[in-house]
Amino acid sequence: MANAQFTGWLIRLGSSRLSRIGLVVMLIFNLAYNSSAQTLLPKSSYKYKVMRQVFDRLTYAFANGRPQPGLEVIAQNRNKQAIIAMYRPGNQPVIQFDEEVYDLCVKLQKDSLNAIAVLLSHELAHHYEKHDWYFTFGISQPNTDTSKESIKQFESAADFYGCFYGELSGYATGRVFPQVLDMLYKQFDLSENLNGYPTKEERKAIYAEKQKEAIQMVAVFKAGFFLYLVQEFESSAQCFNYLVNKFPSREIYNNLAAAKLQQALVLSTGRDILKFAYPVELDAQSRLVTRNRAVALPFNEQQYLQLLADARKYSEQAREVDPKYVPAYINLACIYSLQGNQPAAVGIINELSPELITGDAHTVRAIAYFKDNQFSKSQKDFELAQQKGAHMAQYNLELANKMNESLTGSMASWIMSWFDELNKEESSDNPVPVFQEQIGGKKSNVALPTSAPQIKISRNPNLSVQWNELNDHWQLGIQNSTRNYLVRLTHENYLQPSAGKVKRGMHYTTLAKNYGKPSYTFSGASGKYWVYTNNKIAFNMDKNGRVNSWFIYSRTL
């Protein structure tokens, strides 16, 4: 058997088939069922675990403060009627998924996870968009009180948000949907003209319209995140600002806040006498060791404070959407500290329950304690940050210890020598090789088709995004006021290795062995990013340290 994680869960199918079913409650179908006859697959079963993996990735992207619904996989049984996929609201909301549909999705091989995501993302959209109307539908007869137009409105919304968040989670939901729909109609012998509901072809047309809108927004999101990782923070903020009115989600608010905060940090180069590395920074060395930069512009305090104020506003909105969203707390604490309000920075982190305090949360609280002259508390937090593997933890701890000593030389000299020693160790231990990277058999500098759609994000300053979604990867073309970028990003079902022989699912230790130390890293909410500027490639690792995806890029002035 092929490794399911990488090949789309190639599983041997059972041969059972359900009898003809006469009613679909729109996309994605809710069929009649008898609750007393249901048997659930145990959570320890292989199929449930696969479903759970997809489900958890989707709910992470959707999360807006509503509790995650339950997930049930209904076991096959000839004596029951089928539930293909159904959202059941109430005091304990749950999404149900039929085992036979799981087996059907497996037939799509490398697209099997994408097919599962199509169904789950649609039902999750009903939950997170509060479509509790769904519970009022009759089981054996359509609810005559609900008009066809109302059904179309709710289902269109679920199509739009399901496609958007499915794509953000890494699944090709837009591309696979028509195939999934045809497959379900055929498998369950469904009439293409169901009383009270749009026809199958109308269903496809509705989805195609919403898919076009959603894919455009996904392209802008991917462009914004790419620009963030290559430190084009102003352009990144433009992308997320464009999206925030359409998708006021915790992640978009938080990304917009982070881009604004990064702009403020860049502006403050050489200004902060303590020189701590804040946990939100991508490349603290470039700010702290000023010789690595061109001559800094004169410090504009008004602009600096405005960027921090904007970042604070968006971080607070991210926290309002989801009061348990830890990255928003870390960003807010950094902002308060940079604004000089150290007690507020400490207080924000103290609002988190102990199990939610990450290494980066310890870091920013430690910095705030230090700046507030609470050195014993600061030391404890710096040590906890190091134990938890926080970003730049070793540097911050050594800096704090140095600041507590009688300093004989300049602080700038000590910082410069610290990074010099670090860079010397890294270059001698494992020099970074240079590869000729390709994705989909093409280098990053291959232009997009002339027919590829394009959107103008801003005219002043200029920013436009062009995109092309292929079967297993994306192409982006990004033009801002100073540079043009061509980008290729792998999809969930991309199976080929990078030029450095790294494949999806490999551990970060293999990545480090094959590529060496990254130029800089970024700890995102869903994992880490390692950026290699020499190779113009960046890898995303999940929380278990395994490669999930990567992108390659080229740029011209």
pLDDT one-digit tens code per residue, 213-223: 888 999 999 99
- Look at residue 246 in the predicted model and tell me its pLDDT: 82
Instruction: State pTM to two decimals.
Output: 0.80
Confidence of residue 335 (pLDDT cuts 50, 70, 90): very high
- Look at residue 537 in the predicted model and tell me its pLDDT: 96
Confidence of residue 135 (pLDDT cuts 50, 70, 90): very low
Question: Among the three residues 189, 215, 241, which one is the final residue of a domain in this structure?
Answer: 215
Position 262 in a domain: yes
Structure tokens at 368: 């705030």
Structure tokens at 303: 């602009």
Ramachandran class of 231: left when φ > 0, alpha when ψ lies in -120 to 50, beta otherwise: left
pLDDT one-digit tens code per residue, 250-262: 889 999 999 999 9
- pLDDT over 70 for what percent of the chain? 81
Position 22 in a domain: no
129 and 66 co-located in one domain: yes
293 and 393 co-located in one domain: yes
pLDDT one-digit tens code per residue, 162-174: 888 888 888 888 8
Average pLDDT for 508-514: 93
Structure tokens at 257: 């806040």
CA distance 84 to 120: 11
367 and 505 co-located in one domain: no
Confidence of residue 519 (pLDDT cuts 50, 70, 90): confident
- Look at residue 477 in the predicted model and tell me its pLDDT: 96
239 and 128 co-located in one domain: no
The answer, yes or no, to whether residue 433 has pLDDT greater than 70, is: yes
- Look at residue 21 in the predicted model and tell me its pLDDT: 30
Confidence of residue 147 (pLDDT cuts 50, 70, 90): low
- Look at residue 428 in the predicted model and tell me its pLDDT: 52
Asked if residue 89 has a cis previous peptide bond (ω within 30° of 0), the answer is no
Average pLDDT for 314-329: 92
Position 538 in a domain: yes
CA nearest 267: which of 287, 284, 283?
287
For strand 537-541 and strand 527-532, is the pairing parallel, antiparallel, or unpaired? antiparallel
- Of 552 and 133, more confident: 552
- Of 256 and 404, more confident: 256
Position 287 in a domain: yes
Instruction: Give the CATH number, domain containing residue 354.
Output: 1.25.40.10
Average pLDDT for 425-430: 57
Position 220 in a domain: no
413 and 458 co-located in one domain: no
Position 121 in a domain: yes
Average pLDDT for 391-414: 78
The answer, yes or no, to whether residue 142 has pLDDT greater than 60, is: no
Are the C-beta atoms of 172 and 122 separated by less than 8 Å? no
CA distance 77 to 79: 5
Domain count, the chain: 3
CA nearest 303: which of 270, 337, 348, 268?
268
314 and 386 co-located in one domain: yes
Are the C-beta atoms of 538 and 545 separated by less than 8 Å? no
Range scoring the smallest mean pLDDT among 204-213, 243-252, 444-453:
204-213
Are the C-beta atoms of 254 and 314 separated by less than 8 Å? yes
174 and 50 co-located in one domain: yes
The answer, yes or no, to whether residue 74 has pLDDT greater than 50, is: yes
pLDDT one-digit tens code per residue, 24-63: 333 334 433 344 457 899 999 999 999 999 999 999 888 8
**Structural domain boundaries, residue 239:** 231-426
Confidence of residue 337 (pLDDT cuts 50, 70, 90): very high
Confidence of residue 310 (pLDDT cuts 50, 70, 90): very high
- Look at residue 287 in the predicted model and tell me its pLDDT: 56
158 and 304 co-located in one domain: no
The answer, yes or no, to whether residue 500 has pLDDT greater than 80, is: yes
- Look at residue 406 in the predicted model and tell me its pLDDT: 56
The answer, yes or no, to whether residue 138 has pLDDT greater than 60, is: no
Say which amino acid occupies 118.
V
Are the C-beta atoms of 477 and 490 separated by less than 8 Å? no
306 and 277 co-located in one domain: yes
- Of 12 and 552, more confident: 552
Average pLDDT for 401-411: 69
Question: Among the three residues 409, 426, 443, which one is the final residue of a domain in this structure?
Answer: 426
- Angle between the N-to-C axes of helices 173-187 and 112-128, in degrees from 0 to 180, rounded to the nearest 10: 100
Mean pLDDT of the chain: 82
- Look at residue 160 in the predicted model and tell me its pLDDT: 85
CA nearest 102: which of 124, 75, 122?
75
- Look at residue 293 in the predicted model and tell me its pLDDT: 41
Range scoring the smallest mean pLDDT among 81-90, 283-292, 354-363, 499-508:
283-292
Q: What's the chain's length in residues? A: 557
The answer, yes or no, to whether residue 93 has pLDDT greater than 70, is: yes
The answer, yes or no, to whether residue 295 has pLDDT greater than 90, is: no
- Look at residue 507 in the predicted model and tell me its pLDDT: 95
Position 38 in a domain: no
335 and 273 co-located in one domain: yes
- Look at residue 48 in the predicted model and tell me its pLDDT: 96
Question: Among the three residues 406, 426, 446, which one is the final residue of a domain in this structure?
Answer: 426
Position 2 in a domain: no
389 and 504 co-located in one domain: no
pLDDT one-digit tens code per residue, 444-468: 999 999 999 999 999 989 999 999 9
**DSSP secondary structure of 477-541:** EEEESS-EEEEEEE-TT--S--TTS--TT-BHHHHHHHH-S-SEEEEETTEEEEEETTTTEEEEE
Q: How far is CA 42 from CA 68, 71, 82, 545, in A?
A: 19, 11, 18, 28
Are the C-beta atoms of 544 and 57 separated by less than 8 Å? no
169 and 98 co-located in one domain: yes
